[in-house]
Structure 1
């Protein structure tokens, strides 16, 4: 496939390092007890216009008619969903499940088999799409009947060597093939985890080198390809405390192999007209993940249709600033960008790492600041794509954010089922929000991991830990499910 040739004029004018940081002070130490400003405003504040008012938003989504809301959900599935959400809302239940899966019980075959069987028919079937891509495809077909789409996720976690990366890569390629075999538009995205196609240690090394170049722009990285800005002035750089050694020949070769895997996957997605969405990870490896994402976007995103989408975690204090400078650079280069906005999933580990190094957490100081950042970034990108190229995925389980974004899209006249905008929730979570958005005419996808139960267990454990707060706060969904179950029971009796 031909690659995009970027005019030297643009490359000369763009400066990917937004600030030169003195080596003597790579990132100022901040006492964790002091709350720093969460965002250094570098542009006109009017650019980030606030979303529509809550009163306008309430009129777009309807949660009152539970019969219509859950009309596509069979009673058995509604009962199971309600029971599982109730169980996962109880902290000790989640703690026990996580302890059990990590315990020596799982090393004893005759004990392991019944445990996995019970998990398969409860939590696994609720949160996952199936044991292989074909079964996942059947789940996608059922979703399509309910007016929803699917994001197919090959449920593998981090890879530690090239053999594992190759196996995972083949799994991602097969996912594209299965997506292509399903009804048109029923699969909105294929998801890729860079940590599954590039060894984790190498991602850490590449992130260190990219961070050091941000501190010292004269630091040469001969392997580095054209990319969008990876950092802002407020980005955390404390992970890299000293000048890292250059990549060895072997490491450069491994990096080239990982880039080739990514490019092959991108080319297959281009050929099959299926967007590829790159998941975000923790900040220690996110610079390398953004590098993979943006360098691929430069090569494969064309005209008004992004193929490669990146992910912005808005619980990070630098999220809004990084989004602004990346979109500005993409516009100058004529690259249509696709972004997925999420709140974030590594709050505990990020805060623990920062505190251990004597720095303030990179996470917003409170949930209100995170909500504001998500909503501000949503409004900014909605205005961008309404008036120009690019596309947006709003991955949220927060009802208020869903209402505000829906109202903003309506205000901008984006219309029903706009191909530039997709809402998304995890499979098995926030069903009411998913159906309400779909009933209002928006495209909605469910994030659907698949794979053998044992293979996907690390994913399930991570999701249980990351989404503990969301699961505990699932009362809105559970309340609406109970209301619909009561209505169906009453109708059956009468």
Structure 2
């Protein structure tokens, strides 16, 4: 059972089929970052409000919330967000990185040229990545813990590309399996490990597009990874996929959840739901009914969405405001464990199963709404839904630190638990990984003006404080 809040005085068989797209798009390319980050469509233009709202700096005092960050991190974040918030500089920097990563010359090799390696390591790599191996990743994790983070979401940068011409199912599955087992070994109990089912390779991607089951080889690898996570009490976060693979994504995930999300560990396997899709609330409601019927704890990671630039437009809400309303409405229903629009019951007299929730968001308005609900529940002595917040390492620190500041003032179970998502691997692996993620989520890379403003204010505060002003 979820923990019951202390008094105010002490402080997803019933599977709903996802709509399938008819067009094929390979998510990962053999040329990382090849897609332009400056392409704009009418629907993307309608989402400009998303940029403005989610990048707005918190109105509370940054002098207390950002003071926990090392000066080197504040400076690095200010530098990188100054580049990423400019479309011209962002496109130029990605083009340069792409050329460096595809170069065969020693002079421009990111691993062999010490000057280039040092420059990239002290900027992009340190900003977004945990390290190259277990010791360096553990050191980064310890630093995040010192700042106040509850844990990390670890992702392995080496991926099997779905459009690889020399694809071999056996080799692809083994790369995926071994990488995840290493990542689980790095993680601490209670941490999360990110993964993609499509990362099993080209054969897996084709099966997902056909709404087919994983092959026996894939299924065996998936279960081995889930078993390792279950043994260590590490949680797995299958990342969102495109609409044309969502039906299989949810089937594969529910299958693993039914097997491993039982007992006191709660949700070992989570599933990801994208609020910018019109079908999300309906799909989630059916999955909640399935979890209740089969008796497993449903782990839910809620995101706004990562494929705005590639999905067919009729799948997506018409405006940023509609996406915000859908996200916040679903989040509120989950936290209160009550069906309410947009998350309505899929069957008559539907009951909520045991759930664990992760709100993965860089939107300060969303985190504040969620925290307001939690405070209300605490004051009323209501049962609390296990909740975690997540942001990417190197991004939205002003949102994360506001939650951390709130957590420092609460000693009880209702304190916010904040996680940072980070990547481990070599310099080349990690930079390629970051470029692929940027190509998938074209609008998010530029949604950093709020972070730049917050870091600029923090630098100014520290400068004045150093001279006694």
Common fold, TM-score beyond 0.5? yes
Find the aligned partners of 2:172 and 2:17 in 1 and give their Cα distance: 36
Partner of 1:408: 373
Match runs of 1:317-396 below 5 Å: 317-350=278-311, 354=312, 360-384=313-337, 389-396=354-361
Higher Cα Rg, which structure: 1
SS at match of 1:470: coil
Whether 1:73 and 2:88 are equivalent positions in the alignment is: no
Partner of 1:85: 81
Find the aligned partners of 2:107 and 2:293 in 1 and give their Cα distance: 61
Q: What is the TM-score when the length of structure 1 is the normalising length?
A: 0.72
Find the aligned partners of 1:385 and 1:409 in 2 and give their Cα distance: 14
Sort the Cα spacing of 1:15 and 1:282 in 2 relative to 1 into closer, same or farther, 3 A: closer
- Shift, 1:467, TM fit: 4.7
SS at match of 1:476: helix
Deviations 1:206-261 (A, max 9, x none): 43145xxxxxxxxxxxxx5xxxxxxxxxxxxxxxxxxxxxxxxxxx7xx1111111
Find the aligned partners of 2:239 and 2:374 in 1 and give their Cα distance: 24
Gaps of 5+ in 1: 1-13, 36-60, 211-223, 225-251, 355-359
Whether 1:125 and 2:126 are equivalent positions in the alignment is: yes
Of residues 69-78 and 111-120 in structure 1, the stretch that sits farther from structure 2 once superposed is 111-120
Gaps of 5+ in 2: 1-12, 24-40, 44-56, 162-166, 340-351, 408-415
Given that 2:159 and 2:176 are in contact with CA atoms closer than 8 Å, whether structure 1 keeps it comes out as no
Find the aligned partners of 2:445 and 2:296 in 1 and give their Cα distance: 38
Sort the Cα spacing of 1:18 and 1:458 in 2 relative to 1 into closer, same or farther, 3 A: closer
Given that 2:278 and 2:316 are in contact with CA atoms closer than 8 Å, whether structure 1 keeps it comes out as yes
Given that 1:263 and 1:296 are in contact with CA atoms closer than 8 Å, whether structure 2 keeps it comes out as yes
Given that 1:203 and 1:289 are in contact with CA atoms closer than 8 Å, whether structure 2 keeps it comes out as no
Q: Using CA pairs under 8 Å that are at least 6 residues apart, name the structure with larger relative contact order, 1 or 2.
A: 2
Sort the Cα spacing of 1:317 and 1:484 in 2 relative to 1 into closer, same or farther, 3 A: same
Partner of 1:257: 217
SS at match of 2:420: strand
SS at match of 1:456: helix
Sort the Cα spacing of 1:492 and 1:168 in 2 relative to 1 into closer, same or farther, 3 A: same
Given that 2:84 and 2:448 are in contact with CA atoms closer than 8 Å, whether structure 1 keeps it comes out as no
Whether 1:488 and 2:459 are equivalent positions in the alignment is: no
Find the aligned partners of 1:34 and 1:128 in 2 and give their Cα distance: 34
Partner of 2:449: 475
Given that 1:88 and 1:471 are in contact with CA atoms closer than 8 Å, whether structure 2 keeps it comes out as yes
Given that 1:82 and 1:478 are in contact with CA atoms closer than 8 Å, whether structure 2 keeps it comes out as yes
Whether 1:193 and 2:193 are equivalent positions in the alignment is: no
SS at match of 1:261: helix
* Alignment partner of 2:388 out of 422, 427, 436: 422
Partner of 1:204: 206
Given that 1:63 and 1:436 are in contact with CA atoms closer than 8 Å, whether structure 2 keeps it comes out as no
Match runs of 1:232-247 below 5 Å: none
Given that 1:189 and 1:277 are in contact with CA atoms closer than 8 Å, whether structure 2 keeps it comes out as yes
RMSD: 3.1
Q: What is the TM-score when the length of structure 2 is the normalising length?
A: 0.76
- Shift, 1:410, TM fit: 2.1
- Shift, 1:366, TM fit: 1.3
Partner of 2:249: 289
Sort the Cα spacing of 1:139 and 1:309 in 2 relative to 1 into closer, same or farther, 3 A: same
SS at match of 1:394: strand
SS at match of 2:194: strand
Partner of 2:403: 437
Find the aligned partners of 1:452 and 1:408 in 2 and give their Cα distance: 41
- Shift, 1:468, TM fit: 4.6
Q: How many residues matched? A: 392
Sort the Cα spacing of 1:190 and 1:477 in 2 relative to 1 into closer, same or farther, 3 A: same
Of residues 379-388 and 106-115 in structure 1, the stretch that sits farther from structure 2 once superposed is 379-388
- Shift, 1:144, TM fit: 0.6
Sort the Cα spacing of 1:286 and 1:488 in 2 relative to 1 into closer, same or farther, 3 A: same
- Shift, 1:131, TM fit: 1.7
Deviations 1:129-187 (A, max 9, x none): 1122331111110011111021111123334433132123112111112224xxx64xx
Given that 1:204 and 1:288 are in contact with CA atoms closer than 8 Å, whether structure 2 keeps it comes out as no
Of residues 157-166 and 79-88 in structure 1, the stretch that sits farther from structure 2 once superposed is 157-166
Partner of 1:107: 104
Deviations 1:56-98 (A, max 9, x none): xxxxx97533232122212122111111111111111221222
Sort the Cα spacing of 1:303 and 1:390 in 2 relative to 1 into closer, same or farther, 3 A: farther
Sort the Cα spacing of 1:385 and 1:79 in 2 relative to 1 into closer, same or farther, 3 A: farther
* Alignment partner of 1:98 out of 94, 99, 108: 94
Deviations 1:323-380 (A, max 9, x none): 1111112111112100100111111111xxx3xxxxx532222111111111111112
Given that 2:156 and 2:424 are in contact with CA atoms closer than 8 Å, whether structure 1 keeps it comes out as yes
Partner of 2:173: 165
